[in-house]
Structure 1
Amino acid sequence: MDEIVDGVTHPMGAAPFREACRAALDRDGVLCLPDFIQPAALEAMLNEARGAQDKAYFCTSRHSVYLTPADPAYPAEHPANRQVESSKGCICDDVIGANSPLRTLYDDPGFRAFVAAVTGEAALYPYADPLSSINIHYAHRGQELGWHFDNSSFAITLLIQKPEAGSRFEYVKDLRRADAGEMNFEGVRKLLDEEMTPTVLTMEPATLVLFRGRNAIHRVSPNEGETTRMLAVLAYNAQPGVALSENARMTFYGRLG
């Protein structure tokens, strides 16, 4: 792990560091750790991502920001039903090499304990299906991730390569209160109508990000450069034996296994 993570800047096993990270995530809804990955490990991740890009499943979908089916109780232009577009490519866990730095990082007990401590989870487990634990996302020129709220309580991403322009991670913290059933349709309308200015999270390759997206609406703006944006997603569950549904796997990956 010393060859993968800069443990001097980011001492994951140190209680004060964990506590500071958790406080930042609780306060801001996002924790951004620049230069988390060592240069040689980042280069290995980039080479792996480039080499596997021909195996990526590319798709374009239209969806509501709530990632829910159309609600007939509201008109089509209502915030609950307004459609945004997402387009990206993705390779799955079974494409990631056994000796990949991404897999070493994902499987490392110290890293998993760090993430659990920062997010407040008792323990973390990989997905039970063969596709969902580690993904690499690709965005070519013009591709984007449309505005949405996450269903999960937190997400972990690692930027591998960024384009010359565009692909900005934008978000608005606490725009809804999902557990209380408060969807804040008016706030979503203002954002979609550009009457609200989102926060832009600036990051460079090798940056690890923990993000609470269940109540924070967010998007990745269209790639405006010639360089492909490459982003690793490390996904865990709070319970063992959880698999992404077959419908979700077909939608996101184009296959079941």
Structure 2
Amino acid sequence: MSDLKEIVNNEDYNLNDSSFRARCKNTLDQQGVLVLENFIQASVIQQIKQEGEANQHLAYFCQQSHSAYLTPPYNNFPAQHPQNYQVMSSKGCITDDQIAQDSPLRSVYDSQDFRQFLCHVLGEQSLYEYADPLSSINLHYARAGEELGWHFDNSSFAITLLVQKPEADGVFEYVKDARNSSQGDMNYPLVESILQGSVKGTPLSMEPGALVLFRGRDSLHRVTPVKGDTTRMLVVLAYNSQPGIALSEFAQETFYGRSAKAC
């Protein structure tokens, strides 16, 4: 499947329409998140789900402890300080080289119309795939009890596609502008309140087929623990604003349980 018109819901989303692009950009700029429900046609999402189910046995599952800032411990702060406070993340992942060449995911990811749409909405000049063979398209699995702990992203934007909802929970929650990283303001009091549960995140409702653009560098976010027997499946479409960028071998081993060197 290579024609984007057979994959994307063109009745609602004309990626080449300048007014539609402008509305999307305004929403993302104002709210820090853009949700395009039913972006992928239902029959195509069903195909992607079947691919995900067939390949789940290939996924690398891991559980990791980390701080909300995704940084090593600061020795000059106590363990319970927001900078060091540890949360848990647990998930499975299959990598780009495990996505079929004829998968609709690859057709969307490689589409120049899609990339030009993203560039306009995100305010980027160009978008490039990762230079390593693992990181461009990832399919994440979250089974019962698995979650993503509160964290800030290192990248300025994230692009995801929901494939399957769990029976219960597995909800994406965020607190917009919880810090100002460009000014070096980590906003420890607010982050502590979020980590302790006294400040609640805003839940983001979405259904399978929804495309989500999210600015998570300064917005603290998490996915609550999944409940039930249905695995949450979410695709991450990862791009760079510069060509030739690859995840380090250490990062690959951490996230994927192997490196491209071993492929």
Tell me the TM-score normalized by structure 1. Answer: 0.99
Q: Which residue of 2 aligns with 1:133?
A: 136
Find the partner of 2:168 among 150, 165, 169.
165
Q: Which runs of 5+ in 2 are unaligned?
A: none
Structure 2 letter corresponding to 1:223: V
One-letter code of the match for 1:246?
Answer: E
In structure 2, what is the Cα distance between the partners aligned to 1:163 and 1:71?
Answer: 36
The whole-number CA distance in structure 1 between the counterparts of 2:137 and 2:15 is 20
**Residue equivalent to 2:83:** 80
Match of 2:93 in 1: 90
1:99 to 102, 111, 114: 102
1:251 corresponds to which of 235, 249, 254: 254
Please name the residue that 1:56 is paired with. Answer: 59
**Counterpart check, 1:191 vs 2:198:** no
> Is the aligned partner of 1:27 residue 2:27?
no
| 1:236 maps to which of 222, 239, 244 | 239
Q: From 224, 235, 239, give the equivalent of 1:221.
A: 224
Q: Which residue of 1 aligns with 2:205?
A: 202
Q: CA deviation at 1:179?
A: 1.1
Q: Deviations over 1:218-256 (max 9, x none)?
A: 000000121000000000000000001111100000011
- Figure out how many residues of one structure are paired with residues of the other and give that number: 257
Residue of structure 1 equivalent to 2:42: 39
Q: Distance in 2 between matches of 1:221 and 1:245?
A: 28
Find the aligned partners of 1:91 and 1:125 in 2 and give their Cα distance: 20
| Distance (Å, rounded) in 1 between the aligned partners of 2:196 and 2:150 | 12
Distance 2:218 2:249 in 1: 25
Equivalent-residue separation in structure 2 for 1:97 and 1:78 (angstroms): 44
Query: Is 1:10 aligned to residue 13 of structure 2?
Result: yes
Matches within 5 A, 1:118-157: 118-157=121-160
How much does 1:193 deviate? 1.1
Name the CA distance, whole Å, in 2 between partners of 1:117 and 1:245: 29
**Secondary structure, in 3 states, of the residue corresponding to 1:115?**
helix
Separation in 1 of the partners of 2:115 and 2:194? 35
SS at structure 1 position matched to 2:160: strand
Quote the residue 2:120 is aligned against: 117
Q: CA deviation at 1:84?
A: 0.1
* Shift >6 Å, 4+ stretches: none
Counterpart secondary structure, 2:255: helix
- Secondary structure (helix, strand or coil) at the match of 1:214 reads coil
Q: How far 1:207 sits from its partner (Å)?
A: 0.3
- Give the Cα separation in 1 of the matches to 2:228 and 2:157: 29
User: Residue 32 of structure 2 aligns to which amino acid in structure 1?
Assistant: G
2 CA distance for matches of 1:246 and 1:153?
A: 22
Gaps of 5+ in 1: none
Q: Distance in 1 between matches of 2:56 and 2:200?
A: 34
* 2:72 paired residue number: 69
How far does residue 164 in structure 1 lie from its aligned partner after superposition? Answer: 1.1
Which secondary structure state, in structure 2, belongs to the residue aligned with residue 42 of structure 1?
Answer: helix
What letter corresponds to residue 258 of structure 2 in structure 1? R
